[in-house]
Each structure stands twice: as structure tokens, then as C-alpha cells.
Amino acid sequence: MTPTASSTSSTGPATGPVTGRRGLRRRLRRIAGMTLLEIMIVLAILALVMGLLVGPQVLKMFGESKTDIARATVKKMAFEAYSQWVSRPGNAGKCPTPANLGEYMATANPKDPWGEEYVIKCSDLPAGAVGIAVLSKGEDKREGTGDDIKSWDQ
């Protein structure tokens, strides 16, 4: 009995095992997992979600750090730089400028984190200020508002 074409075909697309290089590649591709494009799409989605969640928190922290820097600088000008400046001969009884105090802070002309000059008051000191009062106008750059940073506040 001679085998016919229909009886020898045991490897059909739906019935038998896949043989040959093409079939092996197809099976490996199904088993291998994700392609590079799929991985890149997932990473792009993750980056977008992280940007929306983490971005505002980072910007908030930058704003808080500017306030912390200004608070430290006004205290340093009022309590450290002023005491050094006033101890120099000829400075007693005078009111220093931010540039005068900047010499003792390793800064030629200190500005607050928002780019404004620090305000120095030598007369009519507010309660709690000793020697001089130093303040930063804050983010709104206007004196007398709630965001002012003052050397005499604890």
C-alpha cells in the first residue's frame, strides 16, 4: 500500500506539531514575552504617571527650600554678620547695608532666593529684634504681607 498525500500529512496547521524554522520562530515568539516596543510603551506610561504624581511634590519642596534658605540667611545676617560688622572701628552707631553684611557671609551682595534685596532696619526695631532687624519680602516681593521672613521671629 502506498501512502497518499493525505495520509502522510501529519503536520497540519491545526492538528500536528509545528516543525521547521518558521514554526519554531513562531512558537518562540509566543513564548518569549514582550517586544521592545511594548516595553517602551509601558515605560512611557509609567513616566507620565510618575510625572503627574511626583512633579507637584518636587515643586512644593523647592518652594519650601527657598523659604528655609531665606530664614537661615536673615538670622545669619542679624546675629552673626551684624555682630562682626559692628565690632569694626568706625561702624558703631551706623546702619549696615546688605552689601556691608555680605562681606561677613562670603557674598558680595546678598539677595533673597526670589532675587530681592534684604531689608535692614536699625531704628524703630520690632519687638524681639536686637541690634538690627533683617527681613526678606518673601515670594510676593512686598513688605508687610504674610509671607515675609523676619529675623526676629522664632
Is the separation of the CB atoms in 147 and 139 below 8 Å? yes
Q: What is the pLDDT of residues 21-34, one digit of tens each?
A: 777 777 766 676 77
What's the angle, vertex CA 79, arms to CA 142 and CA 67, rounded to 5? 40
Measured CA to CA, the distance from residue 105 to residue 103 in angstroms comes to 6
Q: Which of 6-10, 37-41, 48-52, 150-154 shows the lowest mean pLDDT across its residues?
A: 6-10
- Minimum mean pLDDT range among 4-13, 47-56, 77-86, 92-101: 4-13
Residue 22, all three cell numbers: 518558521
Does residue 102 contact residue 73 with C-beta atoms inside 8 Å? no
Residue 70 has pLDDT above 50, yes or no: yes
Average pLDDT value for residue range 55-83: 89
H or E element, residue 29: helix 20-32
Q: Which residue has the higher pLDDT, 149 or 19?
A: 149
Cell of 56: 507637584
Q: Taking the model in full, what pTM does it have?
A: 0.62
Averaged pLDDT, 88-114: 86
Mean pLDDT of 89-108: 86
